[in-house]
Chain A
Amino acid sequence: QSALTQPRSVSGSPGQSVTISCTGTSSDVGRYDYVSWYQQHPGKAPKLMIYTVTKRPSGVPDRFSGSKSGHTASLTISGLQSEDEADYYCCSYTGTYTVFGTGTKVTVL
């Protein structure tokens, strides 16, 4: 049950786009289209941003998009806004259990 690998941090200026990668293995990200992404602001519970690789829950801005290629999933934030500054975690189903990514801090410059 090893954590998925994410970059420790990414940054961008307002209006720019940033992409967060999430690398797993053939047992998780590479095997199932059950990758989700979560946004967490300090002191708050995580919030679902993307599920089943590409779907956005109601209320999540379309600036957030997800994709997957092979063993790597990605979250792209387009038109970066100050409120997007937060920690982001990917997550994958593995058949019986669930594994999270190591987390990425997004900084808006």
Chain B
Amino acid sequence: QVQLVESGGGVVQPGRSLRLSCAASGFIFSSYGMHWVRQAPGKGLEWVAVISYDGSNKYYADSVKGRFTISRDNSKNTLYLQMNSLRPDDTAVYYCVKELLTAFDYWGQGTLVAVSS
């Protein structure tokens, strides 16, 4: 069965960096686009970034462009999100998500990132 397991979240001070990882299993990871989606406490879903199946194309939400970098290692079945210059409004649960025809068919359990001094 498909499993997506995020890790790397935690409490970090404003301006610092954090890298999230997502270990994928149960499907051919190298065949699918992958996304990060976040949800601030008590708020709605916000799309963050996408990477194509082979890593050749990447797109970002305006709110994170220039600060976050999405990447993948298909040899390790792992997705990453490098987050730099973190701000308090980046506080959220970050979900790793598998794409199906531009929809999101499998979600991880999420990892909480809290940006606070």
Which of A's residues lie within 8 Å of B, judged by CB? Answer: 1, 3, 32, 34, 36, 38, 40, 45-48, 51-52, 57, 89, 91, 93, 96-103
Contact = CB atoms under 8 A, between A and B. Distances in A.
Contact count band on B: 20 to 34
A97 B59 contact: yes
Contacts of B47: 91, 97-100
B45 A51 contact: no
A57 B107 contact: no
B44 A100 contact: yes
A32 B62 CA distance: 21
B104 interface: yes
Contact of A97 (B61, B95, B108, B109): B61
A96 B103 CA distance: 13
Contacts of A48: 100, 103-105
B72 interface: no
A93 B35 CA distance: 13
B63 to A, nearest CB: 8
Contacts of A101: 44
B105 A89 contact: no
Contacts of B103: 34, 36, 48, 51-52, 91
Contacts of A40: 45
A45 B108 contact: yes
A91 B35 CA distance: 13
Nearest to B47: A98
Contact of A51 (B50, B59, B105): B105
A26 B54 CA distance: 30
8 contacts: A36-B103, A45-B107, A46-B45, A51-B105, A52-B103, A97-B50, A97-B60, A98-B35
